[in-house]
Structure 1
Amino acid sequence: MPVIDAHQHFWNLETGSYPWLTPEAGPIYRTFEPEELIPQLAEAGVDHTVLVQAMDSYADTDAMLAQADAYDFVAAVVGWVPLERPDEAAQALERYRRHPKFAGVRHLIHDDPDPDWLLRDAVIEGLGVLAEAGLPFDVVAVLPRHLEHVPVLAERIPGLRMVIDHLAKPPIKEKGWEPWAGLIARAAEYPQAYAKVSGLNTAADPESWTAADLRPYVDHAMELFGPERLMFGGDWPVSILAGDYATVWRETNVLLAGLSEADRAAVLGGTAARFYRIEV
């Protein structure tokens, strides 16, 4: 079973527009391209990645698909279409689905000033179009409110497969528990909901975090979703805000050490391959 990192990004500040990415972002306020990630994947033994959108734009999606064409290690692309404009979204999906590596859609809901953006009638219709196309949706659940939307979407669009990015950013640094624990448990009741063990280091203390800090949250997710609905993501380059790729990879493997070989293989590749329909 190949090892798949189910969540990473590239961006080029000279050729692309990323309004959220400002000098205040510190070390990630620069261009990140495939050549920088390749040796880090090789060192970790990661075979393939899922490249995830970093901006709600066609330009970002087109750039990612071009990178997927140029680099075999990119096995899938999670792009963007205007879900709030369902007719346009349908046309865009018809075009993008012709690319063999276009595997899903995400929208930066956490950057939208309306925390209930996902529940707008037009967006629900757009997500229905996505479900009809057989493509999944990545949910960037940062606020508790975002996580509350997952069961609502599961009820209203039963055919929509969803994955909760970064375990919905549990309150690791504060050693908090609720409402995160209860909300993610409610989401996990729906078999079409999956989750990514990703981006947790940047929810912890950036200077001192270890696997021990993440363990209560990952163990909770493991009990709820099981390895067959969890997938590893390195969240590079955002992850360098609290360490580096090698540290994230090492500590993730510490967290998974108690699993059977088959369960560990699911989290480190099998689940992502099935969810994104990756053939490698």
Structure 2
Amino acid sequence: MRIDAHQHFWHLEKVAYPWLDPAFGTICRTIEAPELEPLLKEAGIDKTVIVQAMNSYEDTEYMLQVAEEFDWVAAVVGWVPLNIPEIADKKLKQFKQNPYFKGVRHLIHEEKDPDYIIRDSVIEGLRVLASYDLTFDLVAVFPDHLKHAPRLAKEVPNLRIVIDHLAKPPIKDKLMGEWAEQLARAAQFENIFAKVSGLNTAADHDNWSAEDLQPYIDYAKEQFGADRLMFGSDWPVANLAGDYGKVWSETNRAIAAYSEAERDAILGGTAAKFYQIKS
């Protein structure tokens, strides 16, 4: 089973997305499932995971509606106010009743406080999340957030955490350094996973290929192993530096030398395990 473990939709008339402004060019518009469907068929993707694009109930409810309508949507990563654990608990109790609701994300990179995720109230909210056997997507944009991953893993050891986009390594500058050190520290915790996603937009938007991505994917596999890595397109954000087809084909080229079992894990098996997706 091939799974795209990280993609988005947004409907500008149903949900407010304050971060999405004209600077984003071609993706600053309503983008919905019918636009993605033929791209999935062309790539041979069986299922996808829709990930929240706004810290709001409206966005979560919109994604759950989409999941009901399209059989290739396997999971939704929504939002609750983790910094208010009592309310998070009530909303998780409600959302958990929906079989598509598999986890939570918060746009922590939009918070002015780079240490937002390790506030006591938020960690308590993550404990509530773990109590429902739900997952947490960590928007760890290097250098501000990745360093907090080990603390979260220690504070909430029964929470399955996935680092989005390999924490946006400095691919364009062809550097590893502190990013690599922080990723290695995070990988020491068995409850932390990582997404091979969003790498094209961390590279030179106009001139990138599998050769640019491969050193970072290889390093992530060294640290996590393929059974804790999962592919995600980050579509439609991916369109800022290419398109769905290029992200899929170049990622496959970057991992072509891996064993069949490793490729199967990264391209679907890990996501199925992490998000509890049935074939």
| TM class, shorter-length | over 0.9
Residue in 2 that maps onto 1:239: 238
Identity %: 60
Gaps of 5+ in 1: none
CA contact (8 A) 1:110 1:143 kept: no
Listed one character per residue, the Cα deviations across residues 57-101 of structure 1 (whole Å, up to 9, x for unaligned) are: 000000000000011100000000000000000000000000011
Structure 1 distance, partners of 2:243, 2:126, is 34
- 1:96 is aligned with what amino acid? F
- Match status 1:174 vs 2:173: yes
Tell me if the contact between 2:214 and 2:255 (Cα under 8 Å) persists in the aligned partners.
Answer: no
Structure 2 counterpart of 1:232, which letter? F
Residue 227 of structure 2 aligns with which residue?
Answer: 228
User: Which position in structure 2 is the counterpart of 1:149?
Assistant: 148
- Residues in 2 aligned to 1:62 and 1:14: alpha-carbon distance in whole angstroms: 14
Inter-partner Cα distance in structure 2 for 1:279 and 1:93: 21
Query: What residue in structure 2 maps to residue 110 of structure 1?
Result: 109
1:32 aligns with 2:67: no
Residue 263 of structure 1: CA displacement?
Answer: 1.3
Show the 5 A alignment for 1:24-63: 24-63=23-62
1:36 Cα shift? 0.3
Is contact 2:76-2:101 (8 Å) kept?
Answer: yes
State the shift of 1:262 in Å: 1.4
Q: Deviations over 1:10-65 (max 9, x none)?
A: 00112210000001111110111000000000000001000000000000000000
C-alpha separation between the residues in 2 aligned to 1:231 and 1:104?
15
The answer (yes or no) to whether the contact 1:11–1:54 under 8 Å persists in 2 is yes
Q: Please tell me the residue identity of whatever aligns with 1:37.
A: L
The answer to whether the 8 Å contact 1:195/1:231 transfers is yes
Say yes or no: does 1:257 pair with 2:260. no
Task: Give me the TM-score of the superposition, normalised by structure 1.
Answer: 0.99
* Structure 2, gaps ≥5 residues long: none
2-structure distance, mates of 1:161, 1:16: 28
Deviations along 1:182-210, one digit per CA (max 9) or x if unpaired, are 00000000000000000000000011100
Aligned pairs for 1:181-200 within 5 A: 181-200=180-199
Correspondence 1:7 to 2:6? yes
Contact 1:164/1:194, CA 8 A, preserved across alignment: yes
Partner SS for 1:144: coil
Matches within 5 A, 1:15-164: 15-164=14-163
Equivalent residue of 1:212, what SS? helix
Separation in 1, partners of 2:65, 2:49: 14
Q: Runs ≥4 in structure 1, deviation > 4 angstroms? A: none
1:112 deviates by 0.4
Secondary structure of the 1:231 match is: strand
- Matched residue count: 279
Compute the displacement of 1:143 (Å): 3.1
SS where residue 248 of structure 2 aligns?
helix
Using the size of structure 2 for normalisation, the TM-score is: 0.99
Q: 1:202 and 2:198 equivalent? A: no
Q: What amino acid does structure 1 have at the position aligned with 2:43?
A: A
